[in-house]
Structure 1
Amino acid sequence: MTLVSNLQIGAEIGSGYFGKVHDGTDDVHGQVAVKIFTRTPTETDAEWQSRKQGLLAEGQRLSRAEHANVLKVHGLLESQTSDAIHLVMDYCPGGCLQKKFEAGPMLLSDVRKYMTHVTMGLAALHARSMIHRDIKPGNILLNKHGAAQLGDFGLVTDNIIVGYASGQGYSDHLPPEVLNGGGTSVKSDVWALGMTIYRLLHGAEWYSRLPKPRHVAGKGGFAKHLPFLPHIPKAWRTVLRTMMNDDTGARYQSANAALAAYSRLDTTPRWECVVAPDKVSWTCLVKKRRYFVNWEIVGTNLFDWSAWSEPTGKGNKRSFGASKGVDYDTADRELTALFAKIR
């Protein structure tokens, strides 16, 4: 449908594969976000009319998909020149989780909180026979209450045939079956959700060292060989590897099943982690002592690490482990064991 509105479009605040996002104001809803889909120079009149009608129909579907953790869609407007469609949505002042991903590893408790929100929203879309197909940190927004909402609906579809939709989107979040020519499904959304959790747990610096998933995930064994920061508990790793299993039958079969799995995961101690090009450092507070761990690159595949604690009041500094000049696998194994002991 085409609506008449006094929508005022402001500055660009983001962009995605399918369009740019601007802030705006609307007589009814106040401050809003506006995603603008424009006609491309190569589209014929017939192609644009077809895409425009699809966007308008999608907007109607999304306006019915109401959930506290799905970004609210207020409506769609066609430009006066008929060469653009404006998707009008709630404005989220907290921005997107891409900013937090770029800042570094997030606390386990924050990741679990935000992913719980998003997974409940995703389950609501799935319950309405919609597949999102573009789950990533940049498409998760924080509203004025600090709750996470699933947004950027450029790829949401309800055109599902036997549970599958066409394979677009994701970029590095494409699961093996899609990379190998299959269709997207509820279970490919679960795979992308697992990749999103992994990224938020590790931050941009660590993630940048990995081979691009789009180049290797289709070859098999991707999740099995993902390198984890050593403070990530074993149970978290098991859940993520299940979410991203190559075999769709071995994955969690729904968003709700994934949610049930990680709702039980431990989030303590609250390790604050900083990843730099040549060093990873951690700190946390446990029982009136602050713990510190440093892991440094000292040569070609050679690493030093050290760990100690200091009292918050009176007392002595205590060393509780160190290694010098060990290879990556040894350092990773020793540090993983160390973190498992600190409770």
Structure 2
Amino acid sequence: MAGYIAEIAIGKHIGNGHFGDVHLATDPVHGQVAVKIIAKKNTDTPEKWAADKAEFLTEAQNLASAAHPNIVPVYHLVQSPDGLSIQYCMKYCAGGSLQVAFDTGPSTLHMVRKVGTEVLLGLGALHARGMIHRDIKPANILLDETGVARIGDFGLVTDKLIFGYADKAGYNDHLAYEVWHQGMTSTKTDIWAFGMTLYRLLHGDAWYKESNLPRLEIKNGGFCQKLKWLPHIPQRWRRAIRSMMHDDPASRSQSVGQVQAAFSGLPTDPEWVCEINGPQVNWARQQGSRTFRVEWNRTSQRKQSWRAWSEPTNGTGRNRALGGSGGEVGSVQANNDLTEFFKG
């Protein structure tokens, strides 16, 4: 771990974070890297800034020790030539963050199980070193140049500033029940946030926003029983995620190893691709020479309809009806019927 050096050439801006901006940069040892720049605040005294820099250096040394294929490596900490900013130098992950996938729409079961498995491996390595991430969310899961998921942006959040950070960084939807009531984090709160991350990736931003704000619901208890599921999500996935998000840490999945054991057997077939366009939800999957489609029109709570059919992928042949509502039905019936359809 290097100390304060000033040999990094800062390039274009590639992202924003609560603690600072992220830029592409060139490092004389590691080549192309990503750099998080944390600048001195106007309100900071020279003494406070000096103390903060010393704390950042100690933290960077801790982070550099957490070497693992599913953790973004922190190479070193550098100080800008004017001494007014600190720069975390880390591996550049060319695939970007999973925030993009979340914003785009629901991810497939296969994709979520893959990245979830990789995140669990990295999280297990952190926990084995006595470290808590405290900030598991789609934006902090990065894909490297080979598509491997790596956990990033850890080590800066502490229990002391968790609420202020979470509120400003849009992270309070990922604070477990006990954090709201006790203000303390643990490896169990990382597991809770991992469960929330899986739920978000499976459903995408548009569906997620249809529910009440989690930050207003979690502290009341029983939040995992209130999750609103897309009907194609299998019951085994639902049970696994709910077990990660239990209010009582003692009743939650006990360790990353236990989560891995349950997670590894979750089904990924059939692999439906889901798209949400306002009130309409569409699914599609291909099997052999045919494409299977499902269409759910959600005009209102009382007026919904759905239909499912298969069609020849190459355009040769006839469409085959597979099911449907047979007219307008209420939202509960439509959801229940679709859930049963996808079970088959």
- In which range does the TM-score fall when normalised by the shorter chain? over 0.9
Q: Which runs of 5+ in 1 are unaligned?
A: 158-163
Aligned to 1:129: 130
Is the contact between residue 59 and residue 155 of structure 2 (CA under 8 Å) also seen in structure 1? no
> For 1:337 and 1:19, how far apart are their aligned partners in 2?
47
Q: Say if 2:33 is the partner of 1:32.
A: yes
Q: Which runs of 4+ in 1 moved over 6 A?
A: none
Aligned to 2:223: 222
Aligned to 1:328: 331
Q: Say if 2:117 is the partner of 1:112.
A: no
> For 2:183 and 2:63, how far apart are their aligned partners in 1?
25
Aligned to 2:340: 337
> For 2:56 and 2:50, how far apart are their aligned partners in 1?
10
> For 2:7 and 2:330, how far apart are their aligned partners in 1?
63
Identity %: 46
1:132 and 1:150, CA in 2 relative to 1: closer, same or farther beyond 3 A?
Answer: same
Q: Say if 2:318 is the partner of 1:316.
A: yes
- How far the C-alpha of 1:95 sits from its partner, in A, is 0.7
Is the contact between residue 301 and residue 331 of structure 2 (CA under 8 Å) also seen in structure 1? no
> For 2:155 and 2:297, how far apart are their aligned partners in 1?
42
> For 1:181 and 1:325, how far apart are their aligned partners in 2?
47
- How far the C-alpha of 1:287 sits from its partner, in A, is 4.3
Is the contact between residue 118 and residue 149 of structure 2 (CA under 8 Å) also seen in structure 1? yes
Q: Secondary structure of the equivalent of 2:251?
A: coil
> For 2:216 and 2:23, how far apart are their aligned partners in 1?
32
> For 2:284 and 2:130, how far apart are their aligned partners in 1?
44
- 1:78-97 maps to which residues of 2 (within 5 A)? 78-97=79-98
> For 1:165 and 1:340, how far apart are their aligned partners in 2?
45
Q: How many residues align?
A: 335
Between stretches 45-54 and 107-116, larger displacement belongs to 45-54
1:156 and 1:71, CA in 2 relative to 1: closer, same or farther beyond 3 A?
Answer: farther
Q: Secondary structure of the equivalent of 1:184?
A: coil
- 1:185-196 maps to which residues of 2 (within 5 A)? 185-196=186-197
Between stretches 252-261 and 185-194, larger displacement belongs to 252-261
> For 1:264 and 1:166, how far apart are their aligned partners in 2?
37
> For 2:49 and 2:329, how far apart are their aligned partners in 1?
60
TM-score by length of 1: 0.93
Aligned to 1:234: 235
Q: Secondary structure of the equivalent of 2:328?
A: strand
- How far the C-alpha of 1:52 sits from its partner, in A, is 1.7
Give the letter for the 2:101 counterpart. K
Aligned to 2:156: 155
Is the contact between residue 274 and residue 284 of structure 2 (CA under 8 Å) also seen in structure 1? yes
Is the contact between residue 33 and residue 91 of structure 1 (CA under 8 Å) also seen in structure 2? yes
- How far the C-alpha of 1:5 sits from its partner, in A, is 4.1
- How far the C-alpha of 1:132 sits from its partner, in A, is 0.6
Give the letter for the 2:194 counterpart. L
Aligned to 1:161: none
Between stretches 60-69 and 15-24, larger displacement belongs to 15-24
- How far the C-alpha of 1:92 sits from its partner, in A, is 0.7
Q: Say if 2:306 is the partner of 1:305.
A: yes
Aligned to 1:172: 173
Aligned to 1:20: 21
Give the letter for the 1:27 counterpart. P
Is the contact between residue 165 and residue 184 of structure 1 (CA under 8 Å) also seen in structure 2? no
